[in-house]
Amino acid sequence: MKILMAMSGGIDSAVSAMLLCEQGHQLVGATFRTFDSIKESCLAREKGCCSVESIMEARNLAHKLGFEHHIIDFREHFRKYVINNFVDEYMHGRTPNPCILCNSHIKWGLLLDAAKEYGCDMIATGHYAQIKQYDGHYYLANAVDTSKDQTYFLWMLTEDNLKQTIFPLGGYTKQQVRQMAAERGFVELSKKTESQEICFVTDNDYRSFLEQEVVDFDAKVRSGNFVDKDGKILGKHQGFPFYTIGQRKGLGIALGKPRFVTNIDADKNEVTLGDREDLLTTHLTASHIKITDREWLAKDAVVEAKIRYKSPNAKALITLKDNGFDLNFEQAVWGVTKGQSVVLYKDGLLVGGGIIE
């Protein structure tokens, strides 16, 4: 097949390209430009999957492997769908998942359009995920390497997206991928480390990023009260967007014992602090949902829910609504956070997801 290979400059997309070439496919490489991290007020070096350095690394690899490569400018769309949402969510006291929106709107939105333009049948990426069919539907399935599984970040993909996608690494472990790169002569690539930060936030300092992005930031974000669950004032905070649910360090207040952020009220400019146990809950509500097969969940309402990328799956009962769902957990889960994604699994298949309210 003729496949559009999304290349980040990292080891995963590189090895994916190598494997597809060895299988006899014709590849067209594509790397997208999504943001500018160097501004007049910020001279920090760019980093991550969309930096100039990584784009050039992707182009050089494509040329070494003998296929054409294109750099695609997605900056306008990335700002509209990803960066603006990121800023808006924080300014409303929520904690967003920008990588999830990037995947659904950019990588499987605009990139599919590019695939058609270049005459490609499919697109491929270096994500650790698999695609399986069950009962007439296409599903994301967990990768063999569960420690690297990235299906959580892909839950917004549609069945049509999956029908046009290949994940070459879904059946391999990260260690095997590194070994394959080294065996093919790419020793330095095999040792390349990965950034765990948000690609467009320099030095993982989202506070400075918000200050740069929000007009009249100082007027909109002011010092407010830390309160306890009964509303008693405990002290002053620096501004509600600077805190996230479950945060314990960096609060700037000493209360004699560890305190955690348990609620953020943007309207009142209040941040509630409490004990770790105050973050336990057996219920959540989700909106902006995607469900692959409603009939399946109506017949069998037991799901395994993941409330953040690194959290373990938790058994729950789902109640579907027209534009959302409720989850009631078998055992209490910790740190449910508005704006984050909750992703649903059954038997290793990703069956749906939503945004936590």
Average pLDDT over every residue of 279-284: 98
49, 50, 99, 102: the active-site residue: 102
Please state the rounded mean pLDDT for residues 253-276.
96
What is the per-residue pLDDT across 182-194, written as a single tens digit (0 to 9) for each? 999 999 999 988 7
CA triple 84-85-86, angle to 5 deg: 90
Average pLDDT over residues 256-268: 96
46 pLDDT band (50/70/90 cuts)?
very low
Residue range(s) occupied by CATH 3.40.50.620 in the chain:
2-203
Superfamily for domain range 222-274: Adenine nucleotide alpha hydrolases-like domains (2.30.30.280)
Query: For residue 47, what pLDDT band results from cuts at 50, 70 and 90?
Result: very low
Which fold would CATH assign to domain 278-356? Elongation Factor Tu (Ef-tu); domain 3 (2.40.30)
- In the chain, CATH 2.30.30.280 sits at 222-274
Predicted pLDDT of residue 42: 37
pLDDT of residue 204: 79
Closest to 189 measured CA to CA, from 2, 1, 9, 6: 9
* Residue-level pLDDT at 200: 86
- Mean pLDDT over the full length of the chain: 93
2-203: CATH superfamily: HUPs (3.40.50.620)
Cβ atoms of 224 and 239 within 8 Å: the answer is yes
Q: Considering 50, 99, 120, 199, which one is annotated as catalytic?
A: 199
42 catalytic per annotation: no
> Is the per-residue pLDDT at 39 higher than 70?
no
Statement: residue 221 has pLDDT above 90: yes
Q: For residue 102, indicate whether it is catalytic.
A: yes
Question: Which part of the chain is CATH 2.40.30.10?
Answer: 278-356
* Per-residue confidence band for 246, with pLDDT thresholds at 50, 70 and 90: very high
Q: Does pTM top 0.85 for this prediction? A: yes
One-letter amino acid of 10: G
Q: How far is 247 from 294, CA to CA, in rounded Å?
A: 35
Sheet holding 165-166, edge to edge: 69-73, 26-33, 2-6, 122-124, 165-166
Q: What is the mean pLDDT of residues 348-357?
A: 98
